[in-house]
Structure 1
Amino acid sequence: MGRVVSYRSIAIILLACVLGVTLRNVIFAPPDNNILSSLHLDSPTSPHPPIFHDYFPEDDPLNSVDDTVDAGLVQEPVPLGDHYYGDNGMLVVNPNAHTASGGRLGKKLARASKTLGEAVAEYKRRYHRPPPIHFEKWWDYVVTHNVQLPDEYDEIYHDLEPFWGIDPLDFQESRERLEAQENTIVIAKTDQSSSVEVADYNLPPDGTERLLSRIDNVLRLFQDIEDLLPPFRAVFSPHDNPSMLSDHGVKSKALEAAAARSTLKRNELPPPQRSGWLSACHPSSPAWQNPIDLDAPPERPSHKTFISDHRLSMDPCLNPYLLRSHGQFLSHNKGPDPQSTLVPRFSLCSTVVHHDIRPAVPYGWVEDLPESDNPPWEERLDERLLWRGTNTGIFHGPGTRWRQGHRDHLIQFVNELAGTADVLRSPPNDSEPVGEPIPLRKAHLNPALMDIQFAGKAGSCAPDLCDELDKLYDWRKMLTFQEAGRYKYVFDIDGHGWSGRFKRLITSNSLVFKNTIYPEWFMDRVAPWVHYVPIQMDLSDLYDTFTFFRGGLEGEGAHEDLAKKIATAGREWSQTYWRREDLTAYTFRLFLEYARVSSLDRDAMTYREDSDS
């Protein structure tokens, strides 16, 4: 969990975060020189977050300094101890440490595989098995289309590794049972010469066309590679969110078997727990040790924390407050029963506690924005934080906890006028104490800094609740892209599932503040604080983080130059690492891996270095 840090240091944390990531050498610089050459991204397999690796030498005297002095009485700067990396993805930073400019971070691009042989060797090093069959064809695609970071596909490993511990026949039987269920779409390649297409579906008659259209977007990614893939059969959910809740004991046993190069039959798996969401968590996890009471008012955070590892911060086992803060969890109260085995279903998004397999989703993908919709930073004159959207994320009905849903909470949080909010202010320099947070009246703070409202009309609601929502919220019209282009800062938040807007937003010249619990396919190749600003789901860091970049009510303490740098880096990252070719490369590799793990003869579906077939 995040640890205590004196208030004199916390405002500098954000400066350290941003400086630490913007003043280093990039490890994945694209071929052309651009803003990315001043940034970096750390290895996703590293135990520490990307921002502060190698920050302190082991003998740095700052590592042993007492940090208990009352910040309000400090006469001279007192150095803090080392950065603390919480195991829940939260970070406390030493403000007096220098930023490192080299170390292992700057070597990542240099050590990225440049030949097929190097890629095979790196694959074996990471995953302790040979690559899948046709790996050489995937490599040819990567080289031909200049796909960057060719070794960074750990998200596929996260999704498929547990299935390696399941007996192939049981895997196939689970998939066949799944095909017979409602709300499923089966895509398949029946033989080596056939196309990838919808082979079967079981959908409600009134929604068939709409739901099939979602999978059409995914199918288009196969057009350039379907001749290169082996046969496979995969079951997709047509809906926005995941539903394959993992049981911790079942998944752990499967992973143990996979690591031992063995498999388990269904009757060899432990019986699943019937503890709802907690079933997915280790018995010693914070979610079990500090269970959340969904009916009690949320506790006010006792300490300021900021996200360092975005994936870890999305884990409700490590951050149990998420169970009361997001519609994905609130919609099912204490949670459904977990699956008794691992069920191989593809979903358009997933959480850390589900085992739905995630494809690269092209929904909302754009190559670029027209200049009329995307003015440069200096021409964006509105410095409020912008968001418009509908009230998705949870069904609004009698007995549901819709007021706690993430979108409803956002609207209430940034539009409340009563009371005060404690906001940290940046000191004039790194050596001066910042003191305690300043209580600011929300009646002044929110109208000046926030332009966040629901738009259109109430939806996702029972009729009586729709009427209540119409009266409760200040519904606005949707903004045109040109109108949205006036804003320097934009907010991105989940709906019923992952946000389909993120690609467009990060391709713009705005700085994106991202609020999500869904790790996406690109997590291995994007960096918070380098390409976007991560925000916790309870919004406890929103005011501190936003005013760090934008400044206070009068703009005091702003770091707009850093905001512009991250916005520019995010746009260039999008155009370099989120091209359609990158989506295709991910899809290619994912389905090579899936075809192997779903085969009754996995060994026959393995790449042989002495053969290019």
Structure 2
Amino acid sequence: MLGPQRIRDWVTNLPDSRIRFLRWQSILGYAVITFVISLALSGIFLFSRPEGFLRGHGSSNYFEYFWNQTADHPIDQLIRDAYADHQKLLSQQSFDLPVAAARYRARRGRHPPPGFEAWFRYAIEHDAIVVESFFDRIYADVAPFWGLEPRTTAERASTWDYVVRVRGGIATGVGNTAGKVPWLQLWTALVAEAAPWLPDVDMPINDMDESRVIVPWEDITSLVQRELSARFVAPVDEVITEYSGLAATDAKPDGFEPYRPQWHRGSYWDLARVGCPPDSPARNAAAIENFEERPVFPQEWNPTYSYEGYVRNFTAVMDPCLQPHLRGLHGTFIEPLSMSTSKELVPLFGGCKLSVNNEMLIPGAMYLTEDPIYSGGDTHGPSWSQKLDGIVWRGVASGGRNKKENWTHFQRHRLIEMLNGTAVSAMEANGAPLMTFEMPPIPKYDFPRRREGTVGAWLERFADAGFVDLLCFPADSNCTYIQPYFSKVAGVPMKDQYAYKFMPDVDGNSFSARFRGFLLSTSLPIKATIYAEWHDDRLMPWLHFAPMDNTFQDLYSILDYFTRDKRGDMSARFIADEGRSWGAKVLRREDMLLYVWRLLLEFARVCDEKREMLGFVDDLKRV
């Protein structure tokens, strides 16, 4: 809640002086009331954390205990920085339409799209937190399509195999879904909630786990430059406030053939690195041809996105262009289950993508299902003090097609072997690396258990991780190549996994569909991924979850920090509680709807022949 001075500063910094003049007197009139309410709510906030986080600590609540002490560990500083950054982000929240529209123009260089007023009204009525930067992903995804002819994009979108189609305010799913998972139906149902306020628009769906569009960096940069050069805030009296519609697109001539790009196969790494900047480390790193050798971990690794060995920039840690070693440490680049990739920009929407992919992100359909496999059901775990002091993971050995020649390079196999206390104890005793990893270097990750060689003994009582299905290839191999190292274990339902304090989350064939469930639990997610999702701009690493490098070399040290003493345990509990509390505010179905709604307003505009002049300007006309 803002005090009087911060409200005055906020108003003064608004980009539109007319809005500033209009709202100055009313804001000052409410300033004193706001300040009094803020004091009251602050008191309520301090004593209404999940499970009463600050109760029972007397005057030594988390902030007093933590912020007034020296940052003895790099993670201490990362948590402080994350908290400060998040507070700064919250100060940019918009509470009324003129401010939201002004911030849109300032950040996007255009008027908001037609329909923005209804979108914002729904957001306010449903208690959504509206921060303009939460939607940055939409504009990065849509930007290249401003470099294509609108009719071309519209026609290609309308003729895809699986489409969520909005016509006359009604959403329908188009495509043969027999025998397929119900993702198209789930996305259609979500869009249907916004359809009465949407223009006619088509949302073509990528039905594969893997992303499918990788346009070479030079081509995508050229398209984005066209968008940048075309940006302008049109004069109010010249703005068109209604979409043209898709009647011309729907009236296809006889003999019309849907457009299909050329689909490429082969090494996915070699396809992906073409999407990297020419001067990036990965651009000229050729794919690995022989995976029978053990994986190679980067030596003297000190990337700019880390802080003393721990992830500081989570966007960068997901970027394979910065990390050529990922070609041998992630199943996506080793042997994906399915691959059909276009080097041409075609409109597709999907639940996740790599930094080099060009799909438009929407919330993963698994986040829309009530299936407890993904959500954990109605329960979210016991209070922190009642949890088991340990880490748990269950899942299948996915990530691609693991087989005799390559399985040691897969990320999930690495995670399970790293959490196998018996195997780690043997490695500590003889010094030889295991099949999937090597111990992290002591100079970088120096902590007592590592120096004393007791990490394995600790894991034996602390970790419970295993595969419920080994997914060996070929199926008739009977998993003989992996049996000396792994065996199937009994499953543990998500709701029972929530009894543990720590829950690692790593990629499978693409993104992990359990991350939202983990965030909304009372446990602490420890996340590693190379896949971007719709919610990335609204989650803060080290405040809402603990980020991990994709090598997993920092895993042991992260766990050691959170378990070595009271301070670490308080930090883990704090992040778990903050993640759950924040997730309940910004990862709701309403928030997913608002994201897709706004994305479709923007995509409908980029498909419109009059797109340069389309916009919402009612807020300016009222001044």
Give the TM-score normalised by structure 1.
0.73
C-alpha contact 2:310 2:554 (8 A) present in aligned 1: yes
Give, in whole Å, the separation in 2 of the partners of 1:94 and 1:246.
37
Partner in structure 2 of residue 243 of structure 1: 212
1:110 is matched with 91
Q: In 2 relative to 1, CA 97–108 (structure 1 residues): closer, same or farther, beyond 3 Å?
A: closer
Aligned partners of 1:488 and 1:274: how far apart in 2? 36
CA distance in 1, matches of 2:200, 2:385: 52
SS in 2 for 1:349: coil
Letter of the 1:419 partner, please give it.
Answer: M
**Displacement of 1:388 after TM fit?**
0.5
The one of 19, 33, 54 equivalent to 2:45 is 33
Which of residues 109, 117, 122 is equivalent to 2:103?
122
Kindly indicate whether the alpha-carbon contact (under 8 Å) linking 2:376 and 2:494 is maintained by their aligned counterparts in 1.
Answer: no
For residue 533 of structure 1, what is the aligned residue in structure 2?
Answer: 546
Judge conservation of contact 1:459–1:466 (CA < 8 Å) in 2.
no
Once the two structures are TM-superposed, the CA of residue 185 in structure 1 deviates from its matched residue by 0.6
2:404 maps to 1:409: no
Partner of 2:322: helix, strand, or coil?
A: coil
- For residues 284 and 591 of structure 1, do their structure 2 counterparts lie closer, same or farther at Cα, with a shift above 3 Å needed? same
Structural mapping, 1:385-396, within 5 Å: 385-396=391-402
What is the identity, as a one-letter code, of the residue corresponding to 1:167?
A: E
Partner SS, residue 548 of structure 1: helix
Deviation at 1:448, TM superposition (A): 3.3
The question of whether the paired residues in 1 share the 8 Å contact of 2:298 and 2:325 is answered with: no
The alpha-carbon distance between structure 1 residues 473 and 93, as it changes in their structure 2 partners (threshold 3 A), is closer
Of 298, 308, 312, the match for 1:308: 312
- From the superposition, tell whether residues 35 and 391 of structure 1 become closer, same or farther in structure 2 (CA, over 3 Å): farther
Deviation at 1:404, TM superposition (A): 1.1
Cα deviation for residue 209 of structure 1 reads: 2.5
Could you tell me which residue of structure 2 aligns to residue 138 of structure 1? Answer: 119
Aligned to 1:277: 272
Unaligned runs of 5+ in 2: 1-37, 51-66, 232-263, 302-307, 429-438
Report the equivalent of 1:63: none
The AA in structure 2 aligned to 1:261 is A
CA shift in 2, pair 1:402/1:119, >3 Å: same
Q: Are residue 463 (structure 1) and residue 483 (structure 2) matched?
A: no
Check conservation: 2:350, 2:360, Cα contact below 8 A: yes
- Structure 1 range deviating more: 108-117 or 290-299: 290-299
Matched, 1:166 2:148: yes
Give matches, 1:139-218, under 5 Å: 139-151=120-132, 152-175=134-157, 179=160, 184-190=161-167, 192-193=168-169, 195-199=170-174, 201=175, 208-211=177-180, 213-218=182-187
Q: Deviations over 1:389-438 (max 9, x none)?
A: 11111113466x333121122222322333233576999xxxxx979962
Structure 2 residue aligned with 1:232, among 201, 223, 227? 201
Counterpart of 1:586 in structure 2: which amino acid?
Y
Q: Displacement of 1:374 after TM fit?
A: 1.5
**Which of 524, 547, 551 is the equivalent residue of 2:537?**
524
For residue 166 of structure 2, what is the amino acid of its counterpart? K
User: Which region of structure 1 is more displaced relative to structure 2, 336-345 or 228-237?
Assistant: 336-345
Q: CA separation of 1:359/1:139 partners in 2, compared to 1, >3 Å: closer, same or farther? A: same
* TM-superposition CA deviations, 1:311-336 (whole Å, max 9, x none): 11101001222222222222269x98
AA in 1 matched with 2:427: G
Deviations 1:505-525 (A, max 9, x none): 111111111121112111111
> Following the alignment from structure 1 to structure 2, what is the Cα–Cα distance between the partners of residues 98 and 500?
25
Gaps of 5+ in 1: 1-25, 39-54, 56-76, 81-91, 263-271, 428-432
Answer yes or no: is the 8 Å Cα contact 2:544–2:579 preserved in 1.
yes
Matching residue within 289, 297, 312 for 1:299: 297
Structure 1 residue 378 and structure 2 residue 360: aligned?
Answer: no
Match of 1:583 among 586, 589, 592: 592
CA distance, structure 2, for counterparts of residue 338 and residue 369 of structure 1: 33
Structure 1 counterpart of 2:105, which letter?
K
Q: Equivalent of 1:257, from 198, 206, 226?
A: 226
**Partner letter of residue 275 of structure 2?**
A
Q: Distance in 1 between matches of 2:476 and 2:75?
A: 52
Matches within 5 A, 1:445-460: 445-455=458-468, 457-459=469-471
Give the Cα–Cα distance (whole angstroms) in 1 for the partners of residues 279 and 178 of structure 2: 46
Distance 1:500 1:123, change over 3 A: same
Structure with bigger helix share is: 2
Assess if the C-alpha contact under 8 Å between 1:422 and 1:440 holds in 2: no
The code of the aligned residue for 1:161 comes to A
User: In 2 relative to 1, CA 568–93 (structure 1 residues): closer, same or farther, beyond 3 Å?
Assistant: closer
Are the counterparts in 1 of residues 440 and 553 from structure 2 also a CA contact under 8 Å?
no
For residues 611 and 462 of structure 1, the distance between their equivalents in structure 2, rounded to whole angstroms, comes to 66
1:329 aligns with 2:333: yes
Match of 2:363 in 1: 360
Residues 573, 472 of structure 1: alpha-carbon distance in 2 compared, 3 angstrom cutoff: same
Comparing 564-573 with 434-443, greater Cα deviation is found at 434-443
How has the CA–CA distance of structure 1 residues 124 and 96 changed in structure 2, closer, same or farther, with 3 Å as cutoff? closer
SS in 2 for 1:224: helix
Deviations 1:72-130 (A, max 9, x none): xxxxx9x99xxxxxxxxxxx969899968998864433332222111111111111111
Which structure has the bigger radius of gyration?
2
Alpha-carbon contact 1:350-1:518 (below 8 Å) kept: yes
Instruction: For residue 242 of structure 1, report the CA deviation from its aligned partner.
Output: 0.8
Deviations 1:480-539 (A, max 9, x none): 345323311111122112111112211111111112111211111110100110111111
Question: 2:449, 2:384 → 1: CA distance?
Answer: 32
Name the counterpart of 1:219: 188
- The equivalent of 1:543 in structure 2 is 556
**3-state secondary structure, aligned to 1:223:** helix
Q: 276-285 or 319-328, which moves further after superposition?
A: 319-328
For the Cα contact (< 8 Å) 1:393–1:497, is it kept in 2?
Answer: yes
Flag the 1:96–1:377 CA change in 2: closer, same or farther, 3 A.
closer
For residues 274 and 170 of structure 1, the distance between their equivalents in structure 2, rounded to whole angstroms, comes to 29
| Distance (Å, rounded) in 2 between the aligned partners of 1:30 and 1:588 | 33
Which residue is equivalent to 2:256?
none
Pick closer, same or farther for the CA change 1:396–1:107 going to 2, 3 Å.
closer
**What amino acid maps onto 2:509 in structure 1?**
H
CA 1:216–1:36 in structure 2 vs 1: closer, same or farther (change >3 Å)? farther
| SS of match in other structure, 2:590 | helix
Q: Is the CA contact 1:425–1:438 (under 8 Å) kept in the aligned structure 2?
A: no
Question: How many aligned residue pairs are there?
Answer: 501
TM-score for the superposition, normalised by structure 2 = 0.71
Return the alpha-carbon distance in structure 2 between the equivalents of residues 120 and 168 of structure 1: 25
- For 1:274 and 1:437, the matched residues in 2 are separated by 34
Distance in 1 of aligned mates of 2:78 and 2:193: 49
Query: Which amino acid letter does the alignment assign opposite residue 384 of structure 2?
Result: W
Q: Distance in 2 between matches of 1:434 and 1:492?
A: 23
Within 2, Cα distance between the matches of 1:111 and 1:322? 36
